[in-house]
Amino acid sequence: MGFDDENAIKQALSLSNNDINEAVAILTNEKLPKITSLVTTTNSSSSTNSDNDVLMADANNLTLVPVNDDAGSSNPLEFPVRMLGSLESTLFTDNWSIPYKREESLGRLLTSTIALLREGLAELDVNCKQFLDRFIPEVYKKLLDSAPVNKWNAEIQQGVYNMTCMVVELIAIRLGQTGVPEPLLTTLALIFNSDNMFHSKNIHKVWDRAYYQEKLGNSNLFTINLDTMGWLLNFINIFGLHKGFDALKCQLEKTNDMHEFNLLLKPVATCCQFLNRELIVKEFEPSFQRIFDTVKKLDKEDFKDKNVGKVFDLLLTMKKLSASLWPLELDKLHELHLNVVLHMLKYHHFNSKMNSLKELCKLNETMSSSTIVSKTMIKEEKLYEWIITQRILSLAVEGNIDQVQYCEKIKTIVEFIADRIRNEEISALWNMQFNKSMSIIENLYKIIGIAATKFSTEQLEYLLEQIIQTWNNPSFKLHDKLVGLLSMIGRDARSNKTCSKILEALWELKNRPGLTRPLLLLIYSEHLNVLNGGRLPRETAKREYIKKCCDDFKMSAGSSIAIAS
């Protein structure tokens, strides 16, 4: 057995600490070396007084991170493990620090990793892989989007820019290889996000247009021309210059996984308003259409998957892309979004229904919390109409309403559409209680009670008709639950009219024939609870209640009278 690649042999010997057997195992992919220790003890006497060598969490108290030269190794294919240890000891702490010069640990680690990636060796080195998967996301989250960014001086900002240029090149190279690197794609999306603190701080930087025109040609620039966000435009063009967009396109063509689709599209969607539309549309339109068709073909088997909910993250990313690149396709995406929600809700599988309800709640929360209407949002009126037309509430309660978390999601939807629920759906909801377990009935009453607090007068009257019909049914035995439902509606009512209607309904129930003494006392008790907890002016309502009691006493001597104390 022989090995021809001299660089690979040197790398294996380095990783195995010159153990021949271990090196052979590495070269034959039988064994990957374990990291022995990433934490090194730093020697304070080796530090200098320069305040420009590192970025500290506290910009007003910059201190030096000692540079470890890994025994002065100049071989770019030998990963600097000791420098990784040095970086780890200062990165994963509250009072973190990150060197930003090319000759220091982060720059050396990036340089070595780029070299290893070009040779296809990075994934074989467990330390290098840790740097890719664990260190890079943490480093750039702190360098680009943490509070201290706003305090750093111009030299430090330039240093961060240089380190970011290097990692953009690194990510572009890695994307051209096998596998979808989730941590790196997440980092790339952060780098391309114009709202992060680093870009906000450096918004007025000018981009190197002449340089990229020379390298790419004017028609092949990856960005539009702007007077602001220059460093972001540079990052995007660096990524394109190193074939990053080509690599994204190839990765998209190789996968059918919803999560991977989203990971690969998200960096593009994040910066799409800055992109050369003509160039990007030409590159990504076939993939975009294929993903659209893939989502459209999702079926019951797909809905069983516990991760199927990630399709909604993908759809949001696709909408962001479409808003800038394919604006005429945006309505189709909204329609596809709602169709996926509907099909998942119709399928009798808990995971499918739960994911559907979660997404509906998210759509509602987005509309409620957003002060600016985004193109990616489904219009409120359209969502209202769709929920009512498709009888979403009825479909939802056909599911696992004995499950607390499932029921909570339905309550959120009910609060959103309560005042628009049609009579036939109220009737359908009410009839679902029959021949069901007690837990289901109680949860159903809670849902109806929440809706009823926002009902119009007409809706409430229709519900009260349903309640009275059920009360009069000889086979019905849960009259105490009906009293509790009425009390809940009255106590939580949003309007005086609703509260008054509930008090009238309870008062009428006490005159129903065949009431047991405990049930009669319960009606009186809940009537008082509504009086004390409802929205009606308390003293006026109590006087009215006392008058009713007195009138009853005159008409029927010996009646039980409950008077608020």
CA neighbours within 13 Å on the CB side: how many for 49? 0
Closest CA to 64 of 78, 52, 76, 81: 52
Question: What 3-state class would DSSP assign to 223?
Answer: strand
The residues near 35 (Cβ < 8 Å, ≥ 6 apart) are 81, 126, 127, 130
Regions of the chain with pLDDT less than 50: 30-53, 58-72, 558-565
Query: 403 exposed, middle or buried (CB, 10 Å; 0-12, 13-18, 19+)?
Result: middle
User: What pLDDT score does 35 carry?
Assistant: 32
The pLDDT, as a whole number, for residue 67 is 38
**Residue 65: its pLDDT value, please?**
38
- What is the predicted pLDDT for the residue at 402? 85
CA 176 vs. chain centroid, Å, equals: 28
| Euclidean distance between CA atoms 397 and 391, whole angstroms | 10
The pLDDT score that the predictor gives to residue 13 is: 63
**CA 411 to CA 418: how far, in whole Å?**
10
pLDDT digits (tens, 9 = 90+) for 141-170: 999 999 999 999 999 999 999 999 999 999
**Which DSSP helix (H) or strand (E) runs through 98?**
strand 97-99
311 is written with which tokens?
A: 């399709």
Give the tokens for residue 97.
């620090």
Average pLDDT of the chain is: 85
pLDDT of 117 reads 96
Tell which residue, 403, 316, 295, 414, has the closest CA to residue 354.
403
Burial class (CB in 10 A: 0-12, 13-18, 19+), 98: buried
Q: What angle do CA 328, 333, 335 make, to 5 degrees?
A: 110
Count of CB atoms within 10 A of residue 309's CB? 19
Whole-number pLDDT of residue 73: 53
